Structure formats: structure tokens, C-alpha cells
Amino acid sequence: MIGAGAVGVSCALQLAKRGVRVTVIDRGPVGGGTSHGNAGAILRAASPVAGPDVIAALPRMLLDPKSPLSIRWRYLPRLTPWLMRFLNESRPSRVRRNADAIWQLGAGAVDAWRAQVRGTAAEDMLRPVGWLKVYESEASFEAARPGLERYRARGTAVEYFDRDSLRQLEPNLAPLFARGALHADALFALNPRRVVEICADAARALGVTFRQAEVSDAHADDTHGTVTLADGERLTADRLVLACGAWSKGLAKRLGASIPLDTERGYHLMFETPERGLNRPVVWEDKGFVLCPMAHGLRMTSQVELAGVEAPPDFRRIERLLPLARRMLPSLAGEPTDRWLGYRPSTPDSVPVVGVSPRARAALFAFGHQHYGLSLAARTGEVIADMALDRPTGVDESVLSPSRYG
Ligand SMILES: Cc1cc2nc3c(=O)[nH]c(=O)nc-3n(C[C@H](O)[C@H](O)[C@H](O)COP(=O)(O)OP(=O)(O)OC[C@H]3O[C@@H](n4cnc5c(N)ncnc54)[C@H](O)[C@@H]3O)c2cc1C
């Protein structure tokens, strides 16, 4: 296993539960990548990013310094092939297909997490409080309603709130919001990184070994996979799982597939827990940011920044949204105690890459979970573990497969 984020650790744990001997290699600490700083929502996800509404809003968003989307123009030449595919995925027929493909993992996402943490210290850290979206006006709620109704049609519990009932649900929110929509069956991870660490401890207890080392190369054929570490050491196994999140593209190529993977970067700011806080994560949909009442403070997450994995962070955009966050939650006081940049691993169709390499049966891919990598991690672990053992996975493997890129 290469990568010890939410996805890699879940794959390792699920393999170990099925009796497989696993070594996980990560250049950093367990859960220290993008899985460290996300918004903690575990949703039965089925929304691709690309769609006609995003394309229509794109020019306005790119010009507005407070919008949640930005591109570093210097990165544009490298991003262009990804962007062209992204535009192509915005056609309604593709959006429907991509939503169905994400749902292959999304449908069982919450149940898989419940099962994965059962009996561990993480059980109490996944709270059944839902994921709340709030809207300033009836008009913005009505614009979002078709997407919410699509979730309902899949059997997801989405409950609607008016101004008064919203106030009862979240009494400390400023009375700015006309409507709310609660994904009621979503879980909230009070500390996503800690949850991943606890799952890693559960894996260790089943014999999984964790090593801190950079993987500089990888090879596989139909029977074996080999990784080369930065110090030249080589390790061989019957199966190799690539779960390096946004950093998977180069190694995937070495393992036989050219995947159009890029990153949607996102930021967070941490604050001391306010005196009159929130009961659950709340997304101000019109402004594109989230306030999350983590166990260790209030977290504000925001932004899709298209700039690759190498450019330095630019915290100015999320900081520009801070006055809005203070308007939304008037008791949010003080300056940020921490700032963080994370890298969502994103394919143009928003569909995770979960499956066997088209050119080497011993290599499996588990990355590209974009905005929903925490949500989909445990279910991905189950699917990868079953695939590695040639057992039925219960999903339509073709729509998640790396082979869809030829
Ligand atoms: C601001 C923000 C908010 C988010 N909110 C949510 C949310 O509420 N719910 C949700 O479901 N998702 C959310 N996400 C998305 C989610 O965090 C990611 O999809 C998820 O963390 C990806 O997990 P991963 O295990 O694939 O990658 P990572 O957690 O990034 O793990 C990849 C690991 O691979 C290692 N690695 C990379 N290259 C090498 C190498 N060559 N050798 C060895 N190790 C290597 C890295 O060190 C890293 O530990 C959010 C993301 C952001 C940025």
C-alpha cells in the first residue's frame, strides 16, 4: 500500500480484516496529507463538480476575488488538458453518468464507516448530526433544489428548513438565512485525522506494518508489484495498491495508466471554539465556505484553487471570507490559530479511480476521490480489498476503473 491517508488506511484495514498481510508506506505521518484538514463530512455522495451550472457561473467566479474558485494563471498551460475534459464532463448526460458512478461508492459510504470504526475509539468521533447547507434567499434555495431532490430520489434523507425551524436547529447562526437543507444521514468526523490514526491503530493490531519512506518508483506485472524507496531499497508484494491522493499521477503512469489527475486545492483556518457555536458543519452555499465545530476548535474550510501540487499556498482568499464567517456566526472571535492548505485529488469527471491497472493485474488504484475522499474512504477500502482477493465487490467496477481512460 502506498499512501496512509483516509483511503490508504481504509484499504489496509479492510485487507487486514480479510486476513491479508499488508505494509503501508507513506513519506509522512499517518493521515498527514489531505485527510488531515478537511471539513469532516461523511456523506452518501453523488455530486460531480462539473455541470452546466458551474460552467455558467465560471466567468463571474473567476473575476470575483471573494468567489470560492480561483486559477493561478501561470498554471493554466499545464491545466488546460484537464480543463478541456472538465468542460466535456459538464454536459447533462455526462453529469448523470458521473453522479451514478460516484454513487457506486457513495451509496454505502456511511454504513461502511460505521462498520469500520465499530468497537474503536473513533466510533464516538463520528457524530450523526448531518451536513447542513444554508441559503440566503428563497431564490438561491430554489436554484439548489433540483440537486437536493436528486439526492432524495436516491433515498438520501434531505430535510428542508425555513427561517424559524433553522433557528431551532442552529440557534447561534445569525438570522441571515431564509432556508436550509440538512443531509440528515451524514456523519461528522470531529477530528478527521484522528479518525484515520485510530483506523491505522486498528490495522496495526491486525498485523499491518507502517513505514515512513518516500516511494520514488513502482513497477508491476500480472503477478507482482515492486516499489523502490528514495534510499534505493526495493520491496515486492503480490499486490500493490496506489493510494497517494493528489500525488498519484506519476506512479500510476509507471504502473500502466495515464490518468488525468489534477488537484482542487482547498484551505482551512482554525479558531478557538466559540462560546456560542454550532451543532454540526454548516455550509454557506451562496458564499462557498463551511464552518465545522471540530473537537479541537472551529474550522473554516473553503476554496477550489487550481494551481497544481507545487505552488506555495496563498491564504489571502480564504482570509477575505473571514468577515463573512464572523457575520454568519457572530460569536466567532479571535484570530486564526492555524492555517492549512490541502490537495483534493480530482479527475475531470469527479469519479474516483478504483480498480486494477489496465496493464498490470497486480497493481490496484485507489485515488481521485476529490471533494469526498473522507466520505468514500471506508467503502473504497472494502471494494479494493475484495478486488485484491478476486471476490465480488457489489459495485459496477467498470465505471470506477482506470481503464475508462484507455
Ligand atoms: C478544504 C477541504 C475540505 C474537504 N472536506 C471534505 C469533507 O468534508 N468530506 C469529504 O469526504 N472530503 C473532504 N475533502 C476531501 C478529502 O479530504 C480528500 O478527498 C481525501 O483526504 C483524500 O484522501 P487520500 O487518502 O486519497 O489522500 P491523502 O490524505 O492526501 O493521502 C495521500 C498520502 O499519500 C502520501 N504520498 C504521496 N506521494 C507519496 C510517495 N511518493 N511516497 C510515499 N507516500 C506518498 C502522502 O504523504 C499522503 O499521506 C476536503 C478536502 C479539502 C482540501
Task: Write the secondary structure of 163-215 as one string of H (helix), E (strand) and C (coil).
Answer: HHHHHHHCCCCCCCCCEEEEECCCEEECCHHHHHHHHHHHHHHCCCEEEECCE
Q: How confident is the model at residue 403 (pLDDT cuts 50, 70, 90)?
A: very high
Residue-level pLDDT at 59: 81
Residue-level pLDDT at 204: 98
Q: pLDDT tens digit string along 359-399?
A: 999 999 999 999 999 999 999 999 999 999 999 999 999 99
Q: How confident is the model at residue 68 (pLDDT cuts 50, 70, 90)?
A: confident
Q: Is pLDDT above 80 for 1?
A: yes
- If one counts every other C-beta atom within 10 angstroms of the C-beta of residue 168, the result is 8
Q: What angle do helix axes 373-388 and 109-117 make, rounded to 10 degrees? A: 80
Instruction: Read off the pLDDT of each residue in 132-141 and give the average, rounded to a whole number.
Output: 97
Euclidean distance between CA atoms 278 and 275, whole angstroms: 10
Q: In degrees to the nearest 10, what's the CA dihedral of 43, 291, 138, 154? A: 0
Q: Which of 7, 10, 34, 254 has most ligand 1 atoms within 8 Å of CB, for mutation?
A: 34
Q: Which residues line ligand 1 (CB under 6 A)?
A: 2-8, 25-28, 32-35, 38-41, 214-215, 243-245, 247, 266, 268, 301, 342, 344-345, 367, 369-375
Q: How confident is the model at residue 62 (pLDDT cuts 50, 70, 90)?
A: confident
Q: Is pLDDT above 90 for 67?
A: no
Residue-level pLDDT at 203: 98
Residue-level pLDDT at 52: 86
Instruction: Read off the pLDDT of each residue in 341-345 and give the average, rounded to a whole number.
Output: 98
Residue-level pLDDT at 372: 98
Give the CA diameter of the chain. 63
Share of the chain above pLDDT 90, in %: 93
Instruction: Read off the pLDDT of each residue in 40-60 and give the average, rounded to a whole number.
Output: 89
Residue-level pLDDT at 332: 97
- From the CA of 362, how far away is ligand 1's center (Å)? 23
Mean pLDDT over the full length of the chain: 96
Q: Is pLDDT above 80 for 406?
A: no
* H or E segment to which residue 283 belongs: strand 282-284
DSSP 96: H
Q: How confident is the model at residue 219 (pLDDT cuts 50, 70, 90)?
A: very high
Share of the chain above pLDDT 70, in %: 100
Q: Which of 38, 302, 365, 400 has most ligand 1 atoms within 8 Å of CB, for mutation?
A: 38
Torsion sign (Cα): 263, 107, 284, 93: positive
Q: pLDDT tens digit string along 97-111?
A: 999 999 999 999 999
CB 355 within 8 A of CB 387: yes
Q: Is pLDDT above 80 for 48?
A: yes
Instruction: Read off the pLDDT of each residue in 209-238 and give the average, rounded to a whole number.
Output: 98
Instruction: Read off the pLDDT of each residue in 39-44 and give the average, rounded to a whole number.
Output: 98
Residue-level pLDDT at 16: 98
Specify the 3-state DSSP secondary structure of 310.
coil
Q: pLDDT tens digit string along 245-275?
A: 999 999 999 999 999 999 999 999 999 999 9
Q: What are phi and psi of 237, to 5 degrees?
A: -145, 165
